[in-house]
Amino acid sequence: MESTPPKLEMFYEGKAKKLYATADPDLVICYFKDDATAFNAKKRGTIEDKGVVNNRMSELFFGLLTRTGLKTHFVRRLNDREMLCKRLQIIPVETVVRNIVAGSMAKRLGLEEGRELSFPVVEYYYKSDPLDDPLIYPEHAILFGWATAAELETIRSLALKVNEVLRRFLDERGIILVDFKLEFGRHHGEILLGDEICPDTCRFWDKASRKKLDKDRFRRDLGDVEEAYQEMLRRVED
Ligand code: TMP
C-alpha cells in the first residue's frame, strides 16, 4: 500500500472541491466537499456524503477510462474524500456532451426534455462565474487564447471517446447517460481529462423508469437526493 502524501497549502477552493499542494509540484490532493450549489451558486445546500460518492465514482470512471487508453489526471484514491491527481493548468472551457435533450439545451431551444439526439453533440462553455459560464463557439476559445485549435480538436475527440465508453458501461447497468460536463487541462504539454465525473456533472436517468439519479434532484427540488447519489454509486460499483 502506497503512503498518503501529506497535504500542504490549500491553493484553490471551488464550489464542490478543495485542492491542496503536495511536496511534489506535479501532484495535488483533491478533497470532495458535501456542499452543493446550482445556478451559479444562487442556490446552496448540502448533500450528505456527496463528497464520498463523487470521489468513489470519479475513481471508478477515471479507472475505466484509463483502461481504454484515455489519459486523465487521476492517480489514485487516498481515502473517502480525497484523491491524488496530476496538477493541471486548467483550460477555462467546459465541454458538455449531450445524447438526449435536457437542461439548458431544452430551455435555450424550446425543446422538450427526453428527445434522443441522432448523434452526440459537443458544446463549449466559457468558465466564468461573473458571466454565468456562457455558451461559446470553439472559435472564441482560439480567438481569445483559452485553447489552441489543436487542443480543441483533442478535447473534442477525447470528449466523444469518454461518451462512448461511459454510455456503454452505464447502459449495461440500466442507466441512460443523458449528458455530462468535462474539464481538461495541460500537464507537461499533454491534454489530460481533469475534474470529476459524478452525479454533479452528469445527467443519469434510470432506463426503465426514467427516474433522475443526479444533481437535477437538488437543482429542481425533486427530493430523494442522497438516495439517488447512493443508488448511482451502487449501479456503478456492481
Ligand atoms: P446544462 O444542461 O445545465 O447545460 O448542463 C449540461 C451538463 O453539464 C449536465 O450534465 C450538468 C453539467 N453541468 C456541470 O457539471 N456544471 C455546471 O455548472 C452546469 C451548468 C452543468
Q: For each successive 10 residues of the chain (238 residues), what is the average pLDDT?
A: 87 97 98 97 97 98 98 98 98 98 98 98 97 98 98 98 98 98 98 98 98 98 98 96
The three-state secondary structure class of 87 is coil
Distance CA 161, CA 97 (A): 10
Distance 42 CA to ligand 1 centre (A): 15
Beta bridge partners of 124: 95, 136
Strands, E, within 71-115: which ranges? 74-79, 82-86, 89-100
Confidence at residue 3, expressed as pLDDT on a 0 to 100 scale: 78
Burial of 106 (0-12, 13-18, 19+ CB in 10 A): middle
The reported pLDDT for the residue numbered 163 is 99
pLDDT at residue number 2? 77
Give the ligand 1 atom nearest the CA of 181.
8
How many whole angstroms separate alpha carbon 199 and alpha carbon 180?
9
- pLDDT for res 26: 97
Backbone angles phi, psi at 88, to 5 degrees: -115, 150
pTM over 0.85: yes
Query: Grid coordinates standing for 35?
Result: 456542499
Residues 171 and 52: their CA atoms lie apart, in Å, by 23
CA distances from 198 to 8, 77, 111, 113 (A): 26, 15, 25, 21
Residue nearest to atom 12 of ligand 1 (CA): 201
Q: Whose CA is nearest to atom 4 of ligand 1?
A: 104
Query: From the centroid of its chain, how far is CA 58?
Result: 8
Residues in contact with ligand 1 (CB, 6 Å cut-off): 96, 102-105, 133, 179-181, 200-203
Probe ligand 1: pick from 100, 201, 204, 219, max atoms within 8 Å of CB? 201
Q: How far is ligand 1, taken at its centre, from the CA of residue 194, in Å?
A: 16
H or E segment to which residue 162 belongs: helix 149-171
pLDDT of residue 1: 64
Query: How far apart are the CA of 75 and the centre of ligand 1, in A?
Result: 25
CA angle, 102 as apex, 96 and 108 as ends, to 5°? 85
Short-list 97, 53, 44, CA closest to 218: 44
